[in-house]
Amino acid sequence: MLEFMRSASQGLVGRAIMAVVLGLIIISFAWWGTGNPFEGYGKTNVATVGGQAISAQAFQQAYQNTLQQYQRQLRSPITNAQAHAMGLDIQVLGRMIADAALDARAHSLGLAISDETIAKTVRDDPEFQDAAGRFDRQRFEEALRESGLSEYGFFADQKKRSLRQQIGRSLAGSLAAPKVLVEALAHFADESRSVDYVVLPASAAGDIPAPKQEQLQSFFNERKESFRAPEYRGINLLAVSPSAMAKPDEVSDADARALYDRVKDERFGTPEKRDVQQIVFTKDADASAAEAKIKAGASFDDVAKSNDLGGKFVDLGETTKAGIFDKAVADAAFALPEGGVSDVIKGEFGPVIVHVAKVAPGSVKPFEDVAAEMKKEVATQRAADEALSIHDKIEDARASGQTLTEAAKTVGLDVRAIPAIDAQGLDKNGAPVLAIPDEKDVLRAVFASDVGVDDQPVSTPDRGFVWFEVTKIDPPRDRSLDEVKDQVAKQWRDEEVAKALSAKAADMAAKLEQGATLASLAEPDKLDVKSAADIRRSGGAGLAENVVTAIFNAPPNGAGSAAIGDSRLVFKVTKDTVPPVDFSSAATKALQQRADIGLTNDLVGEYIAALQKELGVSVNEQVFQAAAGQTS
């Protein structure tokens, strides 16, 4: 049946018929019902905490909001699989369970907060205020759209948050970390060390005899999983890349300059900046009186400092014209000379007088410096239009029942056959399979498909397309020792060298502890003794993180070693400095604040854990996985 449906849907007419058939099936389900195929699964709650339910819809909304926040921060898309690997779904659910537990406790305690209090909190939130410190309805509505909440839902959420904070404050109050803890944290952060060290190369391990067959077999058997062959797929690939098709040499100077003229200010220019101050008035009469004073000889600064006219001084700092929210103010500020003061302007928030303290002129990179870039961009744009035309022709050919190879020939292109590739882009010899555009996305699509599936092309960042067909699947399998004997022998030798170097380094460190000098121990192998100073736990002297960790794990004046690649570093601590703690310094005050927050979070976290245990938490794993977009 499936084979018939697949065959029937190859042609354009066949696809239309199958669409009608599937449509009738869907309509019949809607009319008659499906007989509940998910009997026993039908719950729509991801979790329950006491009497509080967390619906799949609420979880999905919170999860998507969190995902979008991460994507904005990283400036890169995150797939569901990546988010799951990062544990974002579990973090969101954990946070929602904690919130539900606190909501339940707030309800049982009869805690409440008035609408007026919440409204005032929102009005006073700087996030929702304009440059003059007034509540900005437009900013508030933009925040609602980003959160996906209605106004009612937003205020309901704010009420719950405020009540949770009440519980947290009642638990922790003004909890302060003990002075001795802050001192210990400061010592930990500020302690510095100096070391002398040598690097033992792999050759210092001495002669490593070749392994016997039984040694290799035993070594292989213990690590068989690491030598397992991954899944390989054979694919046919067709890439249409505007970047590769582009012909910059065919672009005229006139066409390149036309693009340059459109984008030069935004992309190649440093915009003019001005140091702008303004006085905002509530009354026109006060603004006019101030203007008269300035025209009579008073300075802008004197008028701004005077309190008799009711004006509010606002320093906008150094800004571009686009950076000034009020268009009238922006136009006036960028029309004045340096040191100039405007007449009264009708601004968005009342009458305004503007002063330009300083002007930093803008500049634009000349066309000659970016001509090659402009020509390449024009050529790539033209190639993108050509790629789209090729895309439509290939898709029309595939819709008529042609294979990818046949469709490629209709536009004069050849399909590239790749006999075997794994999910990392490697062939069966472990070498990279080169020249696959947008490789990660293409391979993700390839390994989500199957033999015989008619997949959509993958769109590339340069507005190109990559078509593929999966022709063969070799499932993962255990390799025999004979297949990977060279790899096993190399890994065996590497581990033997590492063991020998570790033993030699431990012996050297023990002798250093007993009073030997590093120079005397380095002499037999002709090793260079080096020094590194001002090493802190956060790093220093270009040393690897594991080396720094080993240095601080050693006692003051102690010795130790750490692996660096296929070598080993042996060190002797020559100096250990722990500066006194200045409790009045900004750094220590910031440390105190972080310690306070940490203790508060720990206390509230313990309370929430006990609360969850008391109320009882139940998670529906199936609903959770479905809501998080996990595939089984």
**300 pLDDT more than 50:** yes
Q: What is the CA radius of gyration of the chain?
A: 35
**25 pLDDT more than 70:** no
**1 pLDDT more than 70:** no
Does residue 286 sit in the same domain as residue 393? no
Does residue 240 sit in the same domain as residue 375? yes
Does residue 313 sit in the same domain as residue 449? no
- For residue 572, is it within any domain? yes
Please state, in angstroms and rounded to a whole number, the distance separating the CA atoms of residues 458 and 436.
12
The arithmetic mean of pLDDT across residues 433-450, rounded, is 92
Does residue 299 sit in the same domain as residue 384? no
pTM beyond 0.85, yes or no: no
- For residue 38, is it within any domain? no
Does residue 71 sit in the same domain as residue 143? yes
User: What is the rounded average pLDDT for all residues in the chain?
Assistant: 86
Does residue 501 sit in the same domain as residue 570? yes
Residue 8 is predicted with a pLDDT of: 37
- For residue 83, is it within any domain? yes
What DSSP letter does each residue of 586-622 carry, written as one string?
HHHHHHHHHHHHHHHHHHHHHHHHHHHHHH-EEE-HH
Please count the structural domains in the chain: 5
Q: Kindly report which listed range (126-130, 266-270, 352-356) carries the lowest average pLDDT score.
A: 126-130
Q: Kindly report which listed range (31-35, 104-108, 506-510) carries the lowest average pLDDT score.
A: 31-35
Summarised one tens digit per residue, pLDDT across range 114-143 is 888 888 888 888 888 776 677 878 788 877
148 pLDDT band (50/70/90 cuts)? low
- For residue 183, is it within any domain? no
Q: Kindly report which listed range (83-87, 198-202, 406-410, 589-593) carries the lowest average pLDDT score.
A: 83-87
Query: Which of 588-619 are b and which e, b meaning 16 or more Cβ less than 10 Å from the residue's Cβ?
Result: beebbeebbeebbeeebeebbeebbeebebee
Last residue of one domain, picked from the residues 447, 474, 501: 474
Last residue of one domain, picked from the residues 336, 356, 376: 356
Does residue 375 sit in the same domain as residue 459? yes
Residue 40 is predicted with a pLDDT of: 34
Does residue 86 sit in the same domain as residue 143? yes
User: Domain holding 168: CATH number?
Assistant: 1.10.4030.10
Does residue 240 sit in the same domain as residue 342? no
307 pLDDT band (50/70/90 cuts)? low
Strands 458-459 and 465-474: antiparallel
The arithmetic mean of pLDDT across residues 93-117, rounded, is 87
- For residue 201, is it within any domain? yes
User: Domain holding 330: CATH number?
Assistant: 3.10.50.40
Does residue 215 sit in the same domain as residue 244? no
Residue 68 is predicted with a pLDDT of: 81
Does residue 376 sit in the same domain as residue 469? yes
- The amino acid sitting at 565 is G
Listed residue (208, 203, 207, 210) closest to 568, CA to CA: 203
> Can you give the residue range of the structural domain that contains 26?
2-32
- For residue 61, is it within any domain? yes
Summarised one tens digit per residue, pLDDT across range 32-89 is 233 333 333 335 899 999 888 899 888 988 888 888 888 777 766 777 778 888 888 9
- For residue 142, is it within any domain? yes
Residue 406 is predicted with a pLDDT of: 95
The residues near 622 (Cβ < 8 Å, ≥ 6 apart) are: 41
Please state, in angstroms and rounded to a whole number, the distance separating the CA atoms of residues 594 and 275.
36
Looking at the chain, the whole-number percentage of residues with pLDDT higher than 90 is 57
Q: Which residue has the tokens 């004979």?
A: 482
Most confident of 24-33, 158-167, 269-278, 387-396: 387-396
Under 8 Å between Cβ of 544 and 567: no
The arithmetic mean of pLDDT across residues 323-337, rounded, is 91
Under 8 Å between Cβ of 296 and 247: no
- For residue 445, is it within any domain? yes
Last residue of one domain, picked from the residues 331, 356, 381: 356
Most confident of 125-139, 298-312, 503-517, 585-599: 503-517
Does residue 168 sit in the same domain as residue 280? no
Q: Kindly report which listed range (4-18, 138-152, 561-575) carries the lowest average pLDDT score.
A: 4-18
